[in-house]
Amino acid sequence: MRIFSHVNKSGDLEVEQRLVNRTSDEVSFRCHLGVPDRRRMRTQVLRLASGEDVQTYRVPDGAELVGKRLSIRAEEIGGKRRILNYVFVAEP
């Protein structure tokens, strides 16, 4: 998984989550973005075959979050039940 973030022209923090599957097996994940003092945001990646999936979270008032630590947790649905945890700092 790779994570990128920036504040867009509307002032929202955009967090781009890139999940890469390098196997021939399909995988599915339930993903959560944790933002300090905000409600968690959720998305799902379903039946990702070999390749890449891109999900974008948009968080209002993004300038307030620049420099703060955010996290993404991806829990595999079915399969091996892997859990991926990433902590990153919001970029301007």
Query: Where residue 79 sits, what CATH number does that domain have?
Result: 2.60.40.10
Domain of residue 74 covers: 2-89
pLDDT at residue 79 is higher than 90 = no
pLDDT at residue 81 is higher than 90 = no
* 34-72 burial: b if 16+ Cβ within 10 Å, else e: ebeeeeebebebeebeeeebebebebeebebbeeeebeb
pLDDT at residue 88 is higher than 90 = yes
| CB contact set of 75 (below 8 Å; sequence gap of 6+) | 29, 30, 31, 81, 82, 83
Domain count, the chain: 1
Q: What percent of the chain has pLDDT over 70?
A: 100
Return the structure tokens found at 12: 């929202």
pLDDT at residue 71 is higher than 80 = yes
On average, the pLDDT of the chain sits at 96
What pLDDT shows up at residue 80? 81
pLDDT digits (tens, 9 = 90+) for 18-34: 999 999 999 999 999 99
